[in-house]
Amino acid sequence: MSGWLAFLLPWEFSPLAAALALGAAVAFVRGARRVPPGQAVGVARRIGFFSGLALLYFVMQTHFDYLSQHMFYIHRLQHLVLHHAGPFLIALSQPQAVIARGLPARLHERVLTPAWRHPLVQGAYRVLQNWLVAPVLFVGLIYLWLTPEIHFYAMLSGPLYHVMNWSMLLDGLLFWFLMLDPRTREQGALIGLGPRIGLLLLTAVPQILIGADIALATHDLFNVYGVCGRAWTIDPLEDQQLGGLVTWIPAAMMHAVGTLVVLSHWMRSK
């Protein structure tokens, strides 16, 4: 028990990550209590939100983060959560309105709402959520951080390592909120339900390719883990193959599940 408790303590404590996780949780709970009658936040939405938040916290603020810096396949599991599973579950719960109700009124009305409505913020958001930019950015970040030379420096540089992880998390949230929006284009969604299905299927392909390329490689592509020292004894190629499989199969499955979710939204909109 003491070992597990020690494992759950932060490896490198991040005040920002802790504050955001706690703030989001408290705002969601408060907001769920304030929703009007007939708009109660269901159990499934609560489970989705808190499961996603807990997963994100687990891979960023426990000793799992230490393992991800010393084992390639653990690193790929960390990014699977940061870029796919955690943001997917949070986006699926559609927590925006709930969290907004749970925020302090002054913070919401005087700071966040004016900032959100600022033309520069709206312009940047619409560029990032463009039907062409969003999927290219989503896949491009995976390729960027898995470029062996860039990955080598990211794993040895503390600041660059944090930039890598936060960029994956923020991009994952942007992408999955865009893809899993239950609204149609006519109801205010930035991309229609039909095109989103195509984008989900298309973005799965390059992830399958890079995962397969890593898993089937016959030489060590990411020798930084040999430099840092692996957390436990494992053949470098086996570590790399496991990491490639994580990038290849679960990520593609997330896109398949996302496609089914969007299809269900489409069917209900008819």
The model's pLDDT over 194-248, given as tens digits with 9 standing for 90+, comes to 999 999 999 999 999 999 999 999 999 999 999 988 999 899 999 999 999 999 9
- Rg over alpha carbons for the chain, rounded to the nearest Å, is 19
Contact 249, 168 (CB under 8 A): no
According to the model, what pLDDT value does residue 93 have?
Answer: 97
- The percent of residues above 90 in pLDDT, for the chain, comes to 90
Helices (H), the chain: 2-8, 15-34, 43-61, 64-68, 72-80, 86-92, 96-102, 105-106, 113-117, 119-128, 133-145, 148-156, 158-179, 193-215, 224-228, 236-269
116-139: average pLDDT: 96
Contact 69, 43 (CB under 8 A): no
Q: What is the mean pLDDT of residues 21-31?
A: 97
Residue 14, Cβ neighbours under 10 Å: how many?
Answer: 17
Per-residue model confidence as pLDDT tens digits over 107-118? 988 999 999 999
* Integer Cα distance of 221 and 61 in angstroms: 27
Round to whole Å and give the CA distance between 124 and 27. 26
Q: Which pLDDT tens digit goes with each residue over 29-53? A: 999 999 888 888 999 999 999 999 9
pLDDT tens digits, residue range 211-226?
999 999 999 999 999 9
Of 10, 17, 8, 7, which is closest to residue 169 (Cα–Cα)? 17
Domain edges within the chain: 10-269
Which are the contacts of 107, defined by CB distance < 8 A and separation ≥ 6?
none
**What is the per-residue pLDDT across 68-108, written as a single tens digit (0 to 9) for each?**
999 999 999 999 999 999 999 999 999 999 999 999 999 98
pLDDT digits (tens, 9 = 90+) for 131-184: 999 999 999 999 999 999 999 999 999 999 999 999 999 999 999 999 999 999
* 11 DSSP 8-state letter: S
pLDDT bracket for residue 1 (50, 70, 90): low
269 pLDDT band, cuts 50/70/90, is confident
Q: What per-residue string of b and e applies to 120-150 under the rule 16 or more CB within 10 Å gives b?
A: eeeeeeeeebeeeebbebbbebbeebbeeee
Greatest pairwise CA separation for the chain in angstroms:
60
Alpha-carbon torsion 34, 176, 84, 144, what sign? negative
Specify the amino acid at residue 120. L
